[in-house]
Each structure stands twice: as structure tokens, then as C-alpha cells.
Amino acid sequence: MISKKNRLNFVFLFIAFVFIISCFSFVFIRNDRFNRKDRILNLSTLAEFPEKQSEISVLIEERGGESGNWATALSLEAFEKTGCPILMGNTFDVTIENKTPYEITDWNIAFTMDKLCYIESAWCGKVDVIQQRNGKTLAQNFNLRTYNSKMVKIDYVETNGQILFPLEKGDVFVYYPSLEEKEVPLMGTAPNKPKSFAKLGFILYGKDIVSADDLLHGELTFKCRKRINQDPAFLILVYISVIWAFSLVFLLLSEGRINEIEQIELRDKKMIQEVMETFSGFVDAKDPYTGGHSIRVGKYSKQLAEEMGLDKKQCQQVFYCGLLHDCGKISIHDDILSKPKRLTDDEFSIIKSHTIRGFEILSGLTAIPEACMVARYHHERYDGKGYPDGLAGNAIPLYARITCLADAFDAMNSNRCYRNHMGPDMIIKQISDNAGRQFDPDVADAMLRLLLRGEIVFPE
């Protein structure tokens, strides 16, 4: 059972928990979308706007520059097929550099031919060769370093033991990095760390020299993989979660402590009540005709206080005051207290002194400062004709005015050594007639309401 004090805190923590989980979900979904998105970099755009190379760059170089070209004489069969006796060869190196903090995955680079070329070899990955022939698409995926001629299903030219794949204008070859070639993925680049890059290469032939500019009709397709801890929102949420967890631990500890304190308070309250009831029992024991009087007065007083709208703590204090109101009688001799005959004036004066004596005894009870006032003033009358000080109206403390009526009601409702208890009608008449005289009219009204509703009952 959660204590009232912490109930709101737990509700707040639960709402915070739902909010944090929602934020985490949002961040994960956003990250997943970022990672799934297909991205394309156009090589011609990169060439035209070099600033676009700032994050991911693609550098195509002719190995050896102009002197790196070579001429190769074709066989007769190849000559018949290509229509020229000599082809010019060139080796190309392509460097793809990742300058972003994110990992580049699932990437490939596709080159669309602008003029007739022949690809002979490619390394550091596999190649898709896609040819358009007479309205049909011929395509094959190769590792151009390990295939053999029996595997070839697309258009090719064989010369002097070499196989060349013709790429006409519009044909495409796509380079896929291969894990075996240790070129993928392109890891993200951390600040002050070496840049991450991949290198690939291939050999192209042409009737004329093929240059790097002839390879700009292509595009790099890739995905960016952002690790979740690279998202500042995720890190902020982690910090918030840690604070949330600490708050929960603190709240649970405080909840345990509150429960412990409540148990102690409950035990102390029970002990105080039992001690007070025991003490009031000593007083009541002096006169067997008033047995249980103090407890009944305490209960009636508490009911009156509740009826008059006093708060819980005040009602409990009124109960204790009612319980102890006659404690001064402990100092009155039993012969006077239980004398069945009419008291002499001196004896009555002694009886009346229980108010002052009770006040003196209870002055030391600082936890309930009202108790001594109730002991002193519970025989005062609203019209000022009571004792010991003759206070009137609201000058009499409220708790004493309440206890006064509870005390009188119990006296009228109980048998005494010198008379029997009054009947209900007589008691109600007495209370009504004495409202504003002996009793505070508000307290009297409260008592009449309680009697009318049957919440305070008359004896059988």
C-alpha cells in the first residue's frame, strides 16, 4: 500500500516513465528510418560541385596518368567483332572516402557508359555487367578475377586468351564491394581519426583512350547507419532515465521509511490511548456508579467534534480531553464521591475542586495542552453560572463546552446512587431547554442531531 504522501510522486514517476519510453521509441524509430533510407550520390554532380564531396567523396583516377595507357593488338576473331585492330587500355583506381561520422553500408557504385568501352578486369569486389542488346537485357554478376569463360552468358569478345565485355553507350557496370575483399563497410570517421575509405579498380579498353571523365555518368548508392548512441537525443534520454531511476530508488526508500514511521506512530497512538484509558479507569473505579464514564464522555465528545466539523486531529484531541476531564477526582475522598445522601456545602466545595486539581495534574501534559483547560472548565456554564471561574459564552474553551455537554449527557443517561437515568424525552428536553444556558447552543444542536440520527443511543 502506497502512502498518501508519496502517491502523487509515484503517479508523477509513472507518467515520466511512460513519457521516457515514448521518447525512446520515437528516437529508435527515427534512427531506424535514417538507417533504412536509400541515398544516392550522382558522380557528375560531385564533379560539377566539388563542395558536395565534403561528406562522401568519390575520386576516379587513371593509373599512371597519360603514360599509363597501353595499346593491345586484337586477334583476328576479335578484330572482326570489334571492327578495329587495336584497343587502348587504361587502369582506373576509384577511392571512395567516408568523412561522415556514420557507417556507410549496402553501397555500390554504378557506371553508365557514355561510349563503347570494354571491361576486362575489376578487383576488390564483384561487378554486375548489364548490356542492352536488341531490346533485351543481358546481365551477369562476376568476380572478374576468378571467373572462367564457361561461366560467361553475356556478350563478350575473346582475344589472345583475354575476355573483354563490351559496354556500349547506355550499358552499365555496377561495382559491389565484397566482404572477402575487406572493403566493406565504410566505417564512420571520428574526429581526429584517419579517414575511412575504400579503393576499387578496373581495366577498361576503348578504340580511343578512355578517361576518368568518361566515367562520370554514374552514381553511388548507399545507406547511412547511425548508431543509436550517436544521436544526442538518445544520450539526453539516457541521462533522464538515470535521474528517473535514482528518483525511483529514493522514493522507494522514503516509502519504506514512511511505512516504518507510520507503524511507530500507530503503535505509539495505541499505547497513549491505552495508558489514558487505564488512567481514566482509576478515576472511574473510585465511584462504581460512574464506571466507564470517562471513556463514554471521550467518545461522545469526539462524535460531537466530528459533527461540528472539526478536523481529524482535533477530534482525536477532544477524545483525549474527554477521557481525562475528571482526573482531578483522583484526589477526592471516596466517601464524598460515592455519598448516596445530599452533600453538605463543604463537601460540594471539595467535589468542585476536582476541576482545579485536574487542571494542576494535566498542566504537565504538554502534548495535549487543551486537556488541562477541559479539566478546569468542563463545569462552566454558557450563561456564566458555572464553576470554578464563572466564564461565559465563547470565553469557555471550545473543547470544554463540548465535554460539558458530553459529561452532562452521560450523567443524565446513567444511573447514579441517588437516582436512575432519565428517559430519552427528558434528556432531549433538558438539552433543548439548556441550549444557551448551561450548554453552548451549537454543541447542543450537534448533540440533538446525533441523537435524532441514532448515532448516539439511549440505554435500553
Which of residues 111 and 320 has its CB atom nearest to Fe ion in the complex?
320
The residue range among 17-25, 235-243, 321-329, 408-416 that interacts with Fe ion, by the rule CB under 5 A, is 321-329
Q: Where are the alpha helices (DSSP H) in 363-440?
A: 370-377, 398-413, 424-434
Number of residues that bind Fe ion (CB under 5 A): 1
Report in angstroms how near the CB of residue 297 gets to Fe ion at its nearest.
9
d(CA 218, CA 210): 15
- Show the binding pattern over residues 264-283: x = contacts Fe ion (CB under 5 A), - = does not: --------------------
Cell 563478350, residue located: 156
When CB distances to Fe ion are compared, the closest residue is 326
Which of residues 58 and 374 has its CB atom nearest to Fe ion in the complex?
374
Which of residues 10 and 289 has its CB atom nearest to Fe ion in the complex?
289
- Exposure class string for 82-119: b at 16+ Cβ within 10 A, else e: beeeebbbbbbbbebbbebebbbebbbbbbbbbebbbb
279 burial type by CB count under 10 A (0-12 exposed, 13-18 middle, 19+ buried):
middle
371 three-state secondary structure: helix
Sign (positive/negative) of CA torsion 262, 264, 265, 266?
A: positive
Report in angstroms how near the CB of residue 375 gets to Fe ion at its nearest.
8
The residue range among 9-17, 67-75, 93-101, 326-334 that interacts with Fe ion, by the rule CB under 5 A, is 326-334
The residue range among 20-28, 95-103, 322-330, 430-438 that interacts with Fe ion, by the rule CB under 5 A, is 322-330
Sign (positive/negative) of CA torsion 83, 84, 85, 87?
A: negative
User: Does position 370 bind Fe ion by CB under 5 A?
Assistant: no
Cell numbers standing for residue 338: 460515592
Report in angstroms how near the CB of residue 383 gets to Fe ion at its nearest.
18
Report in angstroms how near the CB of residue 405 gets to Fe ion at its nearest.
13
Ranges within 188-207 binding Fe ion (CB under 5 A)? none
Report in angstroms how near the CB of residue 371 gets to Fe ion at its nearest.
13
d(CA 333, CA 280): 16
Report in angstroms how near the CB of residue 436 gets to Fe ion at its nearest.
21
Close Cβ partners of 134 (under 8 Å, ≥ 6 residues apart): none
Report in angstroms how near the CB of residue 335 gets to Fe ion at its nearest.
18
- Show the binding pattern over residues 418-447: x = contacts Fe ion (CB under 5 A), - = does not: ------------------------------
d(CA 449, CA 427): 13
Ranges within 137-156 binding Fe ion (CB under 5 A)? none
The residue range among 34-42, 55-63, 152-160, 318-326 that interacts with Fe ion, by the rule CB under 5 A, is 318-326
Residue of 326, 380, 410, 442 interacting with Fe ion (CB under 5 A): 326
Which of residues 307 and 326 has its CB atom nearest to Fe ion in the complex?
326
| Residue 68, phi then psi, degrees to nearest 5 | -85, -5
Which of residues 120 and 326 has its CB atom nearest to Fe ion in the complex?
326
CA distances from 270 to 161, 273, 276, 319 (A): 107, 5, 10, 13
Nearest CA to 447 out of 419, 418, 427 is that of 427
Residue 439 is which amino acid?
F
Report in angstroms how near the CB of residue 378 gets to Fe ion at its nearest.
6
Which of residues 19 and 282 has its CB atom nearest to Fe ion in the complex?
282
Close Cβ partners of 261 (under 8 Å, ≥ 6 residues apart): none
Report in angstroms how near the CB of residue 449 gets to Fe ion at its nearest.
25
Please give the residue ranges that form the binding site for Fe ion (CB under 5 A): 326
